[in-house]
Amino acid sequence: MSEDLVSEKSPWLAQVEAEIEPDPRGAVLGCFRRQGPLTLSRPFYPADVLELALIHPPGGLVEGDSLRVDIMVKPGAKVLMTSSSAQKVYKARAWQNQAINLTIRGDSMEWLPKETIVFPGAKARFHLNVEVGAKSRFMGWDLISLGAGQNFSRGSFFQELSLSRENRLIFRERGQIFGQDPFLKASLGFWDRSVAGLFWALGRAENDETKLLNDLKSQLINEIKIFDPTNAQNDLAGITVRDGLLLARYLGSSMERAWDWLEMIWRLTRGLWGGADFRPRLWST
**Choice between 97 and 204, residue whose per-residue pLDDT is larger:** 97
**How many CA atoms lie less than 13 Å away from 154 in the CB half-sphere?**
5
Residue 201: left if φ>0, alpha if ψ -120 to 50, beta else—which one?
Answer: beta
Q: Are strands 66-73 and 96-104 parallel, antiparallel or unpaired?
A: parallel
> Tell me: the pLDDT tens digits for 122-164?
999 999 999 999 999 999 999 999 998 888 999 999 999 999 9
Contacts of residue 4, defined as CB under 8 A and 6 or more positions apart, other chains included, come to none
User: Is the confidence at residue 172, as pLDDT, over 90?
Assistant: yes
**Mean of per-residue pLDDT scores for the chain:** 89
Q: What is the dihedral of CA 240, 241, 246, 249, to 10 degrees?
A: -10
> d(Cα 81, Cα 200) in Å, to the nearest integer?
15
Q: Cα–Cα distance between 112 and 151 in angstroms, integer? A: 27
> 225: which DSSP letter?
G
Average pLDDT rounded to a whole number, residues 251-261: 92
Does 8 or 188 have the greater pLDDT score?
188
The percentage of residues in the chain with a pLDDT greater than 70, rounded to a whole number, is: 91
Look at residue 6 in the predicted model and tell me its pLDDT.
Answer: 44
Answer whether residue 30 shows pLDDT above 70: yes
Render pLDDT for 184-242 as a digit per residue (tens, 0 to 9). 888 888 888 999 999 999 988 766 677 778 888 887 777 765 555 555 567 888 888 88
Q: What is the pLDDT of residue 211?
A: 77
More confident residue, 5 or 204: 204
